[in-house]
A and B are shown apart, each in its own frame.
Chain A
């Protein structure tokens, strides 16, 4: 039978046969990607075993057996088959206000909400390049830290709030946004200083950058909390938040300077010479030719610096400031809810993961979009 079918085609005109079943579809895919060699088979089976052992219990703990409404840990655990069999998300629900606003006065929290809203608006012109009238939008974004500062701290017609009452996500965002928005311009200045042909400027910038990069952030925060007041004229006392903001910004700008220096060094000498031959001054050449290219190259580094800085804001809890992790940790000492550490840590971890992961995804998107080479 098959012989007769074969004869219907002239030599060389036989249509392609379908690929063997074992190389296509799910079977083919898993053969290629999961069981291609004995070692790979063992690895796959081990991984499957690991997932099988870890995921179902985790799912049971976090979702199936979890309790989302209770007034205390005892109440929470009474509703379960055995104490600790499920997560007690009621604890997080009970504390979510505290984790968001810290100890900001209840009746003034609308100001925090407006600031959050304004922050979201300020991000729009930075993130979307095709926004109409983006120039004015960017002006607003640059002004945002000052507007938000006025809204949160008060004064000039608003009731003032003590900065010691800031906490939770509010404090984390204040530290992060201030550090990010001020470290970029200072970092550019430091990077240019380090590349400058004036020896005095260059040496000063190198000393500053290398000093900051050589010591841990936590020691700088200790300096801010214990030593910085000695440096100020007698009688002047800055709030701890201000001192910490100064230190965090200086710390971030030293790292930023190194990233931008990498970008500057990648620009070929011809670009500088082209600027000179057009009769541009140093600043014109840098503003119009060098920096736009250098910044484009350094975007991945800049964003990963931002992410690092954002994560590092948690260190302020060591000098007694209550950011989201600090408040979470402090809540564990509450006798009513004691022992629910994992719930708190998972909540805080998810908060940081979502914000940092979206930042790194955005950086990847930007990199792809700005990649104008082949």
Chain B
């Protein structure tokens, strides 16, 4: 084929190339890249001109400037208005993680309980749980948060008329108060006893397992372990003369002093997120258990395993494989939903750096990028961990 004929057939050649799948796919990808880069370039240009117009620059230096505001809830590290914005962000992040972790724990317990109760052959219980699940799932989580917070704001009494259990535990519209333990000299022995008990229990469990492998004789290791872990420190406690007292919250002025307290914002956010998420977890658990075929538990009963052992050794390990992937995404949802904290004034990362710091410094770009990246990192860590856990639990096939 001479070059002349190729040039003459130029349109034909392009058509031929377009009809070739490989060339076409390369062409489409190049076009996509071009469009994308033009788009990004335009946005970059817009951002630059807009920032210049507003007389702003783009830098994260503000993170080291004093924040100038106070954070009402700082259980882990102290914070004062003279501390930096970065420290405020860290305090917020820790508050977010606190809600996420406690929420996940409560939601799992509630979710597993309700999922099993849903399968109960008790008609009344399973219907009641079903009604609760359907109602809770179909109402926005933000409304649940407002609702629980509203109970604190509008229903619970002021500290002077606090609801109390024998004047030691108090529930008021300012939060939940209970006595905090005060450790006196000699409590170190109790800690030491607890440590010893744990070491002894671990050794005992290892020995019992080996013993069972060798002889087939099974010790009630759970009961024995619990007895050791609770009994030994308790015994030491009384022998050393009860070196602990309780600091009971007492009312002083308009509020309680002493004892341990948790703020209504924290309770409302954690509890609302937990019970909302637990409804989704309950459905996941229910379908996971139903996915294990009935033959499995029949087989295990035929082998002579007790009902509890069947559940623990046969049904649950198989159900977990079905449960874990959707469970992971519920945990992620709970963590992301904790950002709703800002609606009731709980100081999480969105409320600190993405809220007040943004208002004070006027740096929308930097603070939002900071918050978005933080959440992305949290999400990636959670999903990586759940993937690892899922891999560990999955069936090892040939």
Contact = CB atoms under 8 A, between A and B. Distances in A.
A229 B372 contact: no
B375 A215 contact: yes
Nearest to B56: A230
B73 to A, nearest CB: 18
B47 A231 contact: yes
B364 A226 contact: yes
Interface in A25-43: 33-34, 36, 40, 43
Contacts of A233: 42, 46
Contact of A216 (B49, B122, B337): B337
A214 B122 CA distance: 40
A222 B336 CA distance: 14
Contact of B141 (A33, A43, A311, A341): A311
A47 B128 contact: yes
**Is the contact region of chain B dominated by helix, strand, or loop, or is it mixed?**
helix
A214 B124 contact: no
Contacts of B146: 325, 329, 341, 345
Given A199-B29, A216-B336, A230-B51, A307 B138 contact: yes
B138 A356 contact: yes
Interface residues of B, number: 54
A363 interface: no
Nearest to A356: B138
A339 B173 CA distance: 14
Interface string B104-142: 000000000000000011111100100000110111111
Interface in A189-247: 197-201, 204, 211, 213-219, 222-223, 226-227, 229-234
A367 to B, nearest CB: 14
A219 B138 contact: no
A155 to B, nearest CB: 26
Interface residues of A, number: 53
A232 B36 CA distance: 16
Contacts of A357: 134, 138
Interface in B146-174: 146-147, 150, 153-155
A48 interface: yes
Interface stretch (A108-116, A118-126, A312-320): A312-320
A204 B138 contact: no
Given A47-B124, A219-B375, A314-B143, A234 B150 contact: no
**Is the contact region of chain A dominated by helix, strand, or loop, or is it mixed?**
helix
Interface string A93-122: 000000000000000000000000000000
Contacts of A318: 340, 342-343
A40 B120 CA distance: 9
Contact of A226 (B53, B141, B358): B358
Contacts of A230: 46-47, 50-51, 364-365
Given A222-B354, A357-B138, 7 more contacts: A34-B124, A43-B124, A201-B32, A223-B372, A227-B364, A232-B46, A342-B154
Interface of B: 25, 28-29, 32-33, 36, 42-43, 46-47, 49-51, 53, 120-125, 128, 134-135, 137-143, 146-147, 150, 153-155, 336-337, 339-340, 342-343, 350, 354, 358, 364-365, 368, 371-372, 375-376, 379-380
Interface of A: 33-34, 36, 40, 43-44, 47-48, 51, 197-201, 204, 211, 213-219, 222-223, 226-227, 229-234, 307, 311-312, 314-315, 317-318, 325, 329, 339, 341-342, 345, 348-349, 352-353, 356-357, 360
22 contacts: A44-B122, A198-B28, A200-B32, A215-B376, A215-B379, A216-B339, A216-B375, A218-B340, A219-B339, A219-B371, A222-B371, A229-B50, A230-B46, A230-B47, A230-B50, A311-B138, A341-B150, A341-B153, A342-B155, A345-B147, A349-B143, A357-B138
